[in-house]
A and B are shown apart, each in its own frame.
Chain A
Amino acid sequence: MYERDTDVVVVGAGGDGPALAWRLGQLGIDVTILEAGPFYGNEKWEAPNDAPGGERSGNPSDLSGKLYDEQFTSKEADMNDPVTGKLRWGPADSDRPPWQRTVPQQALISQLSGVGGTTQHYYANHPRAFVTSVDDQPHWPIDYEELVPYYQLLEETHPVEPAPTTPKAEVFFEGARRSGYDLNDGYNVTEAGYRPFPNAIPQPDERLMRDGGGDVEEDNVPGGENGQYRYPDYEGDTLAMHEHQGGPHPRGAPMRERARRSSNVSLVPRALDTGNVEIRPNAFATGILTEGGAAEEATGVEFRDTWAGTTERIHADVVVLAAGCIETPRLWLNSGLPDNGWVGRGLTTHHFDFVAGTFDPDTLEALIGQRAVEPHQGQAAGSRVDVPGKGGIAVNTFAPGITAMAMYAAAQGEWAFDRDTAGEPWDTAGRLAGRQLKEQMADYRRTLTLICHTDDRPRQENGVSIDETTEDEHGPVPLVEWEAHPEDDARRDDLARRAAEILDEAGAEHVHRTDAAPILLHMQSSMAMGKVLDTGCEAKDVSRLFVADHSALSNGVGGANPTHSGQALALRTAEAVAERYFGGVDDPIGSV
């Protein structure tokens, strides 16, 4: 068995692990990150889905924008197919099926393996937690103000900026204004209001303004060249709307200059720059190594090479779990570590719903000076309404396949043709099929699609355990269960009604509510600080074992998109690791 030593081993190079690794690297601490999936855009793996390639990458010069352009085609089946796509929860080897989870209910899990994790398809939405969700709800053992210095560092680093207004955003803003919402212009949200999304996407070149001389019509020609918005001529956002397909724009840029700041683009290069961080993809952690019996202490990680099938070990002074809300508790439980009743429990999901409004061309002409919404142009999610205590409503736009899947197929309950919507603020509701689906999709370019993120609350009955009856090569598979509480349903219903009102006020001629089945995309709080972890995110029952992913969040941060809070907390946890086990931090970002 291959064995080696390092200072800190991190399990998972997703949204949050690289934030922690970057900070530890800055502090001179050696870090190895084990990542179960592939490493796209890296010269060590020229064909990451076809061959094992190299073993590890620790040099920023390994990063390759050229390979990233070849691999990330912006096509939705090629990238997003949950079974065969490049961005899926599965091994790098594209000949193999996805990895298994036992999900005994209607649900869709939308989580990714690979360096960058689920941020590979995220929309770079970086709102802070709603203040009330940290300071007033009973879950957090620390105050909101303790997160703020870490939020600020990330806002400066990525950077995080107000999204530009685009035609589809203006339709939403006008609907929100007419519905009585005021503009929220602060980072710290305490009252209901509308605002541009704080997004980790550098703002576009002035030539990409509507009056900047470009020609949208020409850009819409099917199969047209459309090659004019490329690096180095264009830097920052190009308003191409391919975040869900990997967001590789501007084409031609080095990895670290890509506009959508997924962790593989923004934080991984910075972590590698420190010279103290290396990433080993294709390495699935299967066990946490411990010593000590009653006073248990983590000493390393056992993992499996997903190509060779060999088992290896890495020993470290500190182990950090950053494998996400499902695999972190699975790894913990499969390692036989103590369970105080909250390991894997308390999962929050933002209990999504979707509401779509279809507009007639004359209404749009009067509102935004064009005769279609054009959901495929501009940032995927650039505008939102915040409702502290309930959640948020945001424009969420997708290419057609994802639109059909999320908006019209992934619903629960009766099919739309069997539902009566009399007296409701939507004309149709539920899953669409047949002529109804085809008509709705034929109106794709005249339709504005909104998402509702519910402030759902942690409950012990929701979460991740182990399906002892089903094993894959990494041990018993995780069993994932999540059900809405009636109070969460009521909050979601409130948000869906607000979303319908915004669309109606903007002049929509037809409003459709999805009534979505559980979609596990935003996941939080399954290893919560205050329950499983102490205030430094070290395990209460196992020393030298920390958690630095969204599972460490104490709740669903009010329904705000969780990446910003997950990364902020991971930075804070890095300082706790250094403070407790590596001689302290000379110049801390915040206080731990």
Chain B
Amino acid sequence: MSHTRGTFAALVDALVPETPELADRGEEHVPGGLAVGLEEAIIDRVNNFQEVDGGVLGAAGYDATPMAPAVAVLLDTAAAELLVRRRSEDGFNSPAEAFAGGPFSRLSREDRLRALRLLEDEGVFPRLADRFDSAALGTIQFLASSLPILVEFVYYSEATADDGEERSLGWQQADYPGPADGYPVGMGYEIEDFEENDY
């Protein structure tokens, strides 16, 4: 597993992990994002976030900036900061073999999310962006906060369903039946028409 893929797998595993403890709610609640290849779906999106407008990347045949490796490095940087600032509550305790071996993927699940938060707020990058009033550095905050949004949206959408499958794992876990043409659930009207009242 590459460093990029392993780091994104560690991110996915922190946000939507396998949860054997939920088996009593039904077996469908046990698997998490890694079971449906969510890390690949997220890498694809991060790599299709920003268009290449000529330049070296354009000459090399890229249509979009391959940002995922850079984001993986940022996550490792944040992990290092978490450790150096003694903000890690669990130290290195993740089963590192499952992922790529960078510092981010070796943190506990909750510590990975604490590290992510350092990129959004309080950490070195947000402080530098603030100190130098740098929009370019500030975009790291935007990028970091986009990651859980993308992961949780894609997981609970239909995107990770296999071809021919009616519902994704996320839709099954939410017990969402999928699109409908309508529902006969009207209960009448609290008001028939609004008044043109005085003001």
Q: Residues on A close to B: CB < 8 A?
A: 73-78, 80-84, 95-100, 102-108, 131, 144, 152, 161-162, 164-167, 169-170, 173, 183, 185-188, 190, 195-196, 198, 203-204, 207-210, 212-216, 219-224, 226-230, 234, 238-242, 245, 249-251, 368, 374, 376-378, 383, 399-405, 408-410, 412-415, 417-418, 431, 433-435, 437-439, 441-442, 444-445, 467, 469-473, 479, 517
Contacts and interface: CB of A to CB of B under 8 A. Distances in A.
Contacts of A73: 179
Contacts of A400: 156-157, 170-171, 174, 176
Nearest to B167: A222
B148 A431 contact: yes
Interface stretch (B9-17, B68-76, B90-98): B9-17
A290 B1 CA distance: 57
Contacts of A164: 186-189
A414 to B, nearest CB: 7
A70 to B, nearest CB: 14
B110 A234 contact: no
Contacts, number: 317
Contacts of A473: 53
B25 interface: yes
Interface of B: 14-17, 19, 21-22, 25, 29, 32, 45, 48-51, 53, 63-64, 109-110, 113-114, 117, 120-121, 129, 134-139, 141-142, 144-146, 148-159, 166-167, 170-171, 173-199
A223 B184 contact: no
B91 to A, nearest CB: 17
10 contacts: A165-B187, A183-B190, A219-B183, A222-B177, A239-B184, A251-B181, A402-B153, A409-B153, A415-B114, A437-B152
A361 B141 CA distance: 41
Contacts of A445: 174-176
Given A77-B157, A404-B153, A435-B22, A219 B191 contact: no
A175 to B, nearest CB: 14
Nearest to A242: B179
A374 B185 contact: yes
Nearest 8 pairs between A and B by C-beta? Answer: A104-B138, A214-B184, A238-B182, A186-B197, A229-B182, A401-B157, A74-B179, A77-B159
Contacts of B184: 207-210, 212-216, 219, 239
A208 B17 contact: no
Given A219-B182, A400-B176, A434 B189 contact: no
Nearest to A162: B191
A230 B48 CA distance: 37
A97 B62 CA distance: 12
A438 B183 CA distance: 27
Contacts of A242: 179
Contact of A186 (B151, B185, B188, B196): B196
A390 B117 CA distance: 30
A435 B19 contact: yes
A204 B121 contact: no
Nearest to B26: A442
Most chain A beta-carbon contacts within 10 A, residue among B25, B110, B135, B193: B135
A198 B129 CA distance: 43
A348 B43 CA distance: 33
Nearest to B151: A409
Contact of B179 (A75, A84, A214): A75
A394 to B, nearest CB: 14
Contact of B145 (A107, A212, A229): A107
A241 B139 CA distance: 34
Given A100-B50, A413-B121, A472-B51, 14 more contacts: A74-B179, A75-B157, A164-B187, A169-B187, A186-B195, A186-B197, A209-B187, A210-B185, A240-B180, A377-B185, A418-B110, A438-B19, A438-B29, A517-B145
Given A105-B142, A187-B194, A404 B156 contact: yes
B116 to A, nearest CB: 9
A238 B181 CA distance: 7
Contacts of A227: 181
A222 B165 CA distance: 11
A438 B22 contact: yes
A196 B189 contact: yes
B122 to A, nearest CB: 10
Contact of B14 (A102, A222, A434, A441): A434
A77 B179 CA distance: 12
A185 B191 contact: yes
B183 to A, nearest CB: 4
B185 A167 contact: yes
A431 B193 CA distance: 40
Contacts of A418: 110, 114
Nearest to A74: B179
B185 A376 contact: no
A250 B186 contact: no
B153 A104 contact: no
Nearest to A518: B145
Contacts of A169: 187, 190
A210 B136 contact: no
Nearest to A173: B190
Contacts of A144: 199
Contact of B182 (A77, A107, A161, A249): A249
A203 B191 CA distance: 12
B148 A208 contact: no
A435 B174 contact: no
A104 B135 contact: yes
Contacts of B189: 162, 164-165, 196, 203
B174 A166 contact: no
B136 to A, nearest CB: 6
A210 B194 contact: no
Given A162-B190, A401-B154, A97 B181 contact: no
